[in-house]
Amino acid sequence: MSATTQDLMIARLFFNAAFPVMQVLLDDDPKLHKAFANFTATVQFGARNDDKLVACTLKFDNGQVEVIQAPAESYDLALTFPSVSKMNALLRGGLALPGIKGNILLLPKILKLLMGLMIMSPKKKPRDYDKQKLKVKCSLYMITRALSTYNKLGDPDMHEWCLRQPDRIYQFSVEPYPETGIACYLRVKAGKSKSGHGVYTRRSPFVHFHFLSVEGAIKVLQKEVPFVRAAELGYIETIGSPEYAVQLNDFMAILQSMLT
């Protein structure tokens, strides 16, 4: 069955923006860190689209994971869904079963990591502070990567928005920083875009989304309160252009609806 343009966009957003967040889980989640510390394997993850394969490759190497945006030349395990829409359904928290080839003994470990990404789902509301930090960190890393990917994949509105900007930094950080370790950014320059982790130091941010606490960041990211109301309640302050802050927030809302 042929995938729609929207389904293919969502799949590429997951491969390019959500899957790299697996490294955050391997670094910061104690159980996953231990489980993958001495693990090496190549896993192909994808779906059939008529006679083509839409897939990425996960290369695990002793606690590190590299996400390659192409099918594997060879693999230890391959998970292949019958359609892109069914693959997307699973990644958004639904039910779908892939075909499995290779070493099936690797499957429980890989599924555990994939389920770990569900910490970014609006349905997940951790009470433990460390889990809350992990949720916010993963969510912000994913959304900044997704914004850049959305532009690179050619969404016309996002690309037009990037085209009309000279060289601007959209910074995100969560207090108390650097204790939380949560900061990332989106750089936009004349139609090009790039996301990164940490605080961008080579120029001042054009807009700084400054979350005043981990709890407040969750309320904003979960859409528990409207963006403007969140600022009134002291969950977030935006420093810089209010117009462009609202515009970027609108793109973030679009992407969150696609990925969750």
DSSP secondary structure of the chain: -PPPHHHHHHHHHIIIIIGGGHHHHHHH-HHHHHHTTT-EEEEEEEEEETTEEEEEEEEEETTEEEEESS--SS-SEEEEESSHHHHHHHHTT-----EEEE-GGGHHHHHHHHHHGGGGSTT----SHHHHHHHHHHHHHHHHHHHHHHHHTT-HHHHHHHHT-SSEEEEEEESSTTTS--EEEEEEETTEEEEEES---SS--SEEEEES-HHHHHHHHTTSS-HHHHHHTTSEEEEE-HHHHHHHHHHHHHHHHHH-
pLDDT at 19: 98
Average confidence (pLDDT) over 139-143: 98
Residues 148 and 244 in one domain: yes
Residues 115 and 136 in one domain: no
Please say which residue of 66, 96, 120 terminates a domain: 120
pTM for this prediction = 0.95
Residues 187 and 79 in one domain: no
pLDDT band at 227 (very low <50, low <70, confident <90, very high): confident
- 114-118, 142-146, 228-232, range with the lowest pLDDT: 228-232
Average confidence (pLDDT) over 60-71: 98
**How many domains does the chain fold into?**
2
Q: What is the CATH number of the domain that holds 218?
A: 3.30.1050.10
Q: Residues 166-185: pLDDT tens digits?
A: 999 999 999 999 999 999 99
Mean per-residue pLDDT of the chain: 96
Residues 48 and 162 in one domain: no
Please say which residue of 72, 99, 120 terminates a domain: 120
pLDDT at 226: 86
Tell me the residue range of the domain where 68 lies.
Answer: 5-120
Q: Residues 36-57: pLDDT tens digits?
A: 999 999 999 999 999 999 999 9
Please say which residue of 86, 120, 154 terminates a domain: 120
